[in-house]
C-alpha cells in the first residue's frame, strides 16, 4: 500500500516527539521523586539530631514524647530502642511495637535509612536509624510517612499523562502542517512537470526563491528539460532534413524512369537512362548508409573493428576513391603520410577521409591543390585535409559537424551536402578521438584525430 510522503514524515515526527516526551517525562519523574525523598531524609536527620542532642543533656524520653512540639503524630514519629530491641521511649503513634528488631538495632553502626511498609493499609514509611553514643546497642529511630511523596508523584504522573498526549497531538498536527508547507513547492513542480508535453516543450518548473535544495533541484530539472527540448528539436530537424534528402533523388529517379517509358527509345538511350538511374540509386544507397550510421551513433558509439593498417596505404586508398571527382573538378590531391602501421578500423577511417576529400574537392578552386596529411603523435593518429577555397562561413563554423548543416556552395566552404562531416565526427568519437574544423588564410582545414591502440581488440 502506498503511503503519502507527507503522512510518513508526520508519523516519523510524531514517533520521535513521543520518544522525546517519554524520555523527558521519565527524567522529570525520577528527579522530582528523588528531590522529594531527599527532602524527607533531610527532615529525618534534623529530628534525629535534636533527639541525640537531648540525649546528651536531658532525658531523651522527654523529647521523644513531646508531641506537638517536635513530633507530629500524624506525619512523623520516633522511638528509642535499647540493645534488646525493647522500646525505651516512643511517640504515641508507634508506642505499641518496635520499629526495628533487636538484630537490626544491634547491627546499626552508621546512620541508616530504611523504607518499609509497617501496615498494609497505610502508606510506606521512611526510617532513619542512628546509634546513641555512650549507650551500647541503644538506637534512635525517627520516621515519616511517604504519603505526601506518593501523592505528589501521582499528581505528577497524572499531569504528564494528561498534558503529554495533548502536547504530542499538537506537535503531530504542527508536523503535518510543516510537512505540507515543505512539500508544497514539490507538488507545484510535479503539477508543472505533468503539464510539460510535446505540444508545450517550453514550459519549465517553478523555482522556489529559498535558495535551498528544492531550488537547486528545480534548476537542475529545468536544465534537463532544456537539453531534452534541444534534443527533440534536433531530432525533428534531422527527420525533416532526411526526408528532404531522400525526396530529391527519388523524384529524380522517378522522372528519369517516366521519361524513359514515355516513348520508344533505342538501346543507347535506354542504357544512358539506366546509367543515370544507377547514379541516383547509388546516391540513395550512400545516403541510406549514412543515415543508418548516424542513427546508430545516437544510441551510443558506432561499432568498430581495429586492425593493424598501413597509414600510407590507407590514405592512398581514400584518394583513389575520389580521383574521378577531383579530375572533373580540376583539383589535384597531394598526400603526405609516413609508411607506418596504425591500429584503427580501416573501413571507417576510409569512409571519413572520403567524406573529407569530397567536401574539399567540391569547394576548392579549380586548378588548386587539396592536401591530405597524416601523422602519429602522442598516442593519436591525425589526418588533416586542407583546401584552397572560400572557407567556412563564421555562423556555420561552430556547427559544421551537425547533420544536414550546409549553405550556398560558393560562399560556405566545405560543409558538404549535410552528412559528410557528421560521419567524420562519429568515426572520430568511435575511435576515442575528435574532429575539428577551422579556417586558414587560403581556405579551410579539417582535422580527424583518432586514438591509436596497437594490438587492441575489437570493442
Contact 394, 455 (CB under 8 A): no
The secondary structure element, H or E, covering residue 58 is none
Using the predicted structure, report yes or no on whether residue 398 has a pLDDT greater than 90. Answer: no
Using the predicted structure, report yes or no on whether residue 326 has a pLDDT greater than 80. Answer: yes
From the DSSP assignment, how many helices (H) and strands (E) are in the chain? Answer: 12, 12
Higher pLDDT, 310 or 182: 310
Separation between Cα atoms, residue 450 and residue 430, nearest integer Å: 8
At residue 416, the pLDDT reads: 39
Q: Average pLDDT for residues 128-136, to the nearest whole number?
A: 81
Q: Where are the beta strands (DSSP E) in 214-275?
A: none
At residue 408, the pLDDT reads: 42
Higher pLDDT, 59 or 395: 395
pLDDT tens digits for range 426-449: 889 888 899 999 999 889 999 999
Contact residues for 48 (Cβ-Cβ < 8 A; gap 6+) = 111, 128, 130, 140, 142
Q: Average pLDDT for residues 188-206, to the nearest whole number?
A: 77
pLDDT tens digits for range 260-269: 787 777 888 8
Separation between Cα atoms, residue 292 and residue 287, nearest integer Å: 9
At residue 457, the pLDDT reads: 38
Using the predicted structure, report yes or no on whether residue 356 has a pLDDT greater than 50. Answer: yes
Binned at pLDDT 50, 70 and 90, residue 385 comes out as: very high
Using the predicted structure, report yes or no on whether residue 236 has a pLDDT greater than 80. Answer: no
Averaging pLDDT over each range in 70-74, 165-169, 240-244, which range is the top one? 165-169
Separation between Cα atoms, residue 32 and residue 354, nearest integer Å: 93
Q: Average pLDDT for residues 306-315, to the nearest whole number?
A: 92
List domains and CATH numbers for the chain.
5-150 (3.30.450), 213-297 (1.10.287.130), 307-451 (3.30.565.10)
pTM, full prediction: 0.51
- 316-333 in b/e form (b: 16+ CB < 10 A) is ebbbeebeeebeebebeb
Separation between Cα atoms, residue 235 and residue 225, nearest integer Å: 15
pLDDT tens digits for range 399-420: 778 766 654 443 333 333 467 7
Amino acid at each position: 500500500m502506498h503511503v503519502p510522503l507527507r503522512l510518513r514524515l508526520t508519523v516519523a515526527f510524531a514517533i520521535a516527539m513521543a520518544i522525546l516526551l517519554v524520555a523527558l517525562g521519565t527524567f522529570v519523574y525520577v528527579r522530582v521523586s528523588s528531590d522529594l525523598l531527599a527532602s524527607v531524609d533531610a527532615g529525618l536527620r534534623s529530628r534525629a539530631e535534636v533527639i541525640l542532642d537531648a540525649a546528651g543533656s536531658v532525658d531523651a524520653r522527654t523529647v521523644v514524647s513531646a508531641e506537638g512540639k517536635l513530633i507530629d503524630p500524624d506525619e512523623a514519629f520516633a522511638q528509642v530502642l535499647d540493645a534488646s530491641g525493647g522500646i525505651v521511649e516512643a511517640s504515641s503513634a508507634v508506642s505499641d511495637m518496635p520499629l526495628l528488631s533487636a538484630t537490626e538495632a544491634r547491627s546499626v553502626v552508621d546512620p541508616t535509612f530504611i523504607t518499609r511498609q509497617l501496615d498494609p493499609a497505610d502508606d510506606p514509611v521512611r526510617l532513619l536509624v542512628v546509634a546513641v553514643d555512650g549507650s551500647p546497642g541503644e538506637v534512635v529511630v525517627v520516621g515519616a510517612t511517604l504519603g505526601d511523596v506518593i501523592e505528589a508523584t501521582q499528581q505528577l504522573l497524572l499531569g504528564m499523562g494528561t498534558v503529554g498526549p495533548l502536547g504530542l497531538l499538537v506537535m503531530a498536527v504542527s508536523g503535518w502542517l510543516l510537512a505540507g508547507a515543505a512539500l508544497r513547492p514539490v507538488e507545484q513542480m510535479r503539477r508543472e512537470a505533468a503539464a510539460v508535453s510535446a505540444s508545450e516543450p517550453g514550459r519549465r518548473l517553478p523555482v522556489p526563491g529559498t535558495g535551498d535544495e528544492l531550488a537547486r533541484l528545480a534548476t537542475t530539472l529545468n536544465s534537463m528539460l532544456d537539453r531534452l527540448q534541444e534534443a527533440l528539436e534536433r531530432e525533428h530537424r534531422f527527420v525533416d532534413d532526411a526526408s528532404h534528402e531522400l525526396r530529391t533523388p527519388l523524384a529524380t529517379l522517378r522522372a528519369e524512369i517516366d521519361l524513359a517509358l514515355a516513348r520508344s527509345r533505342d538501346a543507347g538511350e535506354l542504357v544512358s537512362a539506366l546509367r543515370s538511374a544507377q547514379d541516383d540509386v547509388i546516391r540513395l544507397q550512400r545516403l541510406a548508409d549514412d543515415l543508418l550510421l548516424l542513427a546508430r551513433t545516437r544510441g551510443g558509439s558506432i561499432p568498430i573493428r581495429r586492425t593493424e593498417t598501413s597509414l600510407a596505404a590507407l590514405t592512398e586508398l581514400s584518394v583513389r576513391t575520389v580521383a574521378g571527382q577531383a579530375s572533373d573538378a580540376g583539383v589535384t590531391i597531394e598526400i603526405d603520410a609516413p609508411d607506418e602501421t596504425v591500429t584503427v578500423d580501416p573501413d571507417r577511417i576510409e569512409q571519413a577521409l572520403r567524406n573529407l576529400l569530397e567536401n574539399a574537392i567540391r569547394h576548392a578552386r579549380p586548378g588548386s591543390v587539396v592536401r591530405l596529411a597524416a601523422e602519429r603523435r602522442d598516442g593519436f593518429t591525425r589526418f588533416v585535409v586542407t583546401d584552397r577555397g572560400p572557407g567556412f562561413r563564421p555562423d556555420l563554423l561552430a556547427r559544421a559537424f551537425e547533420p544536414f548543416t550546409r549553405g550556398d556552395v560558393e560562399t560556405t566552404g566545405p560543409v558538404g551536402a549535410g552528412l559528410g562531416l557528421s560521419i567524420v565526427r562519429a568515426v572520430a568519437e568511435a575511435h576515442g578521438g575528435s574532429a575539428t574544423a577551422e579556417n586558414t588564410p587560403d581556405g579551410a582545414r579539417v582535422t580527424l584525430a583518432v586514438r591509436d591502440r596497437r594490438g587492441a581488440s575489437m570493442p
